[in-house]
Amino acid sequence: LTLMSDELKDSTLQLAMELRAAGIECEAALEPTKKFGKQFELADRKKRRYVLILGDAEIEGRTVRVKDLKTGEQNDVARADLIAFLNKQPGA
């Protein structure tokens, strides 16, 4: 999970806890950044296939952006459907 700002830290960590409770292994960035490149590079080095982006627009729209690092594809997924969506993805 990326972290865009300190204001979003609680929401990001809450989402991480929800994913872990559902049995989905995940890590959340603890330091915010406006540039995702470093967070994407770290995820790639750790052999993570997906990066989840939760920003102001996603919170307002009750979605999470899911980026597939292997294909580059991005999907905006309704927060309520996220766990089911991730469980269907290869390598998630």
Domain that holds residue 42: 6-88
Cα(first)–Cα(last) distance of the chain, in Å?
13
Residue 73: inside a domain: yes
Residue 34: inside a domain: yes
Q: Over range 51-58, report the average pLDDT.
A: 91
* pLDDT category of residue 74 using cuts at 50, 70 and 90: very high
Total of domains in the chain: 1
How far, in Å, CA of 87 to CA of 25, rounded?
11
The DSSP bridge pattern shows strands 50-53 and 74-78 to be unpaired
pTM: 0.85
CATH number of the domain at 51, please.
3.40.50.800
> pLDDT digits over 55-65, tens only?
899 999 999 99
Residue 32: inside a domain: yes
**Mean pLDDT (the chain, rounded):** 90
